[in-house]
Structure 1
Amino acid sequence: MERRLTAGTATVTGVTSNLDCIGLGVDDHAGMDRLVSIALRGAERLGQAGGVSVLRWQDPSGARLILGVRGNEVTDLLPSYAGEPGARLANVRAVNEDVVVADVLDEDGQQVTMLAAELEQRRLLPATGTVGGPACVVALGVDVTVWADDDAFAASDASLLGDGDEPGEAPPHVVEQGWPWPPRMAAESFISYGVFGEPEQARAYARLNGRVLRAQRKTVAVTGREFVAARVRTAGFEVDVCLPADATGEVPRAGSVIAGTVFLVASLPGVVTADGSPGKRSWLPWRR
Structure 2
Amino acid sequence: MASNLACIGLDVWRRSDFRDMVAAARSEAETIAKDGEVGVHIWTDVSGARLILTTEGDLVRVVTPTFYAAPGAVISEPQAVDGGLVLAELVNDEDEVITEIACQLEELALLGSAAPPVEGPVSIVVLGNSTEVIGRADAAVPGLVFEPTGAYALSTDAVAHLTGVVLAIEERAVGRTGQAFTAARLQTDGFQVTLCVPAGKPVLATGDVVEVDGYVVASIPALRN
Global fold match (TM > 0.5): yes
Match of 1:146 in 2: 133
Structure 1 residues 119, 50: CA separation in 2 closer, same or farther (over 3 Å shift)? farther
- Please, which of 142, 146, 154 is the counterpart of residue 190 of structure 1? 146
Alignment match, 1:174? none
**Shift of the alpha carbon at 1:108?**
1.6
RMSD of aligned alpha carbons: 2.1
Aligned partner of 1:43 in structure 2 is 29
Which residue number in structure 1 is paired with residue 205 of structure 2?
253
2:131, 2:202 within 8 Å by CA — same for their partners in 1?
A: no
| Structure 2 residue aligned with 1:214 | 168
**Equivalent residue of 2:69, what SS?**
coil
Q: Runs ≥4 in structure 1, deviation > 3 angstroms?
A: 127-130
Answering whether residue 135 of structure 2 is matched by residue 135 of structure 1, we say no
SS in 2 for 1:27: coil
Higher helix fraction: Structure 1 or Structure 2?
A: 1
Measured in 2, the distance between the counterparts of 1:25 and 1:58 equals: 16
Mapped to 2, the partners of 1:104 and 1:246 lie a distance apart of 30
Aligned to 1:103: 89
The one-letter code of the counterpart of 1:149 is R
Post-superposition offset of 1:230: 0.1
Q: Structure 2 counterpart of 1:143, which letter?
A: S
- Which residue of structure 2 aligns with residue 270 of structure 1? 222
Q: CA deviation at 1:124?
A: 2.0
Q: Which amino acid counterpart does residue 260 of structure 1 have in structure 2?
A: V
Q: Which runs of 5+ in 1 are unaligned?
A: 1-13, 155-184, 273-277, 279-288
Aligned residues: 222
Q: Matched residues in 1 for 2:175 and 2:22: separation?
A: 15
More strand by share: 2
- Deviations, residues 220-275 of structure 1 (Å, cap 9, x unaligned): 111110000000010121000000113113xx221111212011000011113xxx
Asked if the contact 2:131/2:210 (under 8 Å) is kept, the reply is yes
Contact map agreement 1:48 1:124 (CA 8 A) in 2: no
Asked whether 1:70 is paired with 2:56, we answer yes
Aligned-pair identity (%):
34
C-alpha displacement of 1:130: 5.3
Q: CA shift at 1:138, angstroms? A: 0.1
Which string of whole-angstrom CA distances, capped at 9 and with x for unpartnered residues, describes residues 57-111 of structure 1?
Answer: 0110000000011111101110010001001000100121321011111112111
Q: After superposition, what is the alpha-carbon deviation per residue over 1:3-33, rounded to whole angstroms, capped at 9, x for unaligned?
A: xxxxxxxxxxx9x810000000001101101
Distance 2:43 2:223 in 1: 18
TM-superposition CA deviations, 1:174-228 (whole Å, max 9, x none): xxxxxxxxxxx92x21100122144xx2001110110000112111111110000
Name whichever of 57-66 and 106-115 sits farther off: 106-115
Match for 1:34 among 9, 17, 20?
A: 20
SS at match of 1:270: helix
The answer to whether the 8 A contact 2:52-2:63 is kept is yes
Amino acid at match of 2:119: G
Alpha-carbon distance in structure 1 between the residues aligned to 2:83 and 2:35: 13
Query: Looking at CA atoms only, which structure, 1 or 2, has the larger radius of gyration?
Result: 1
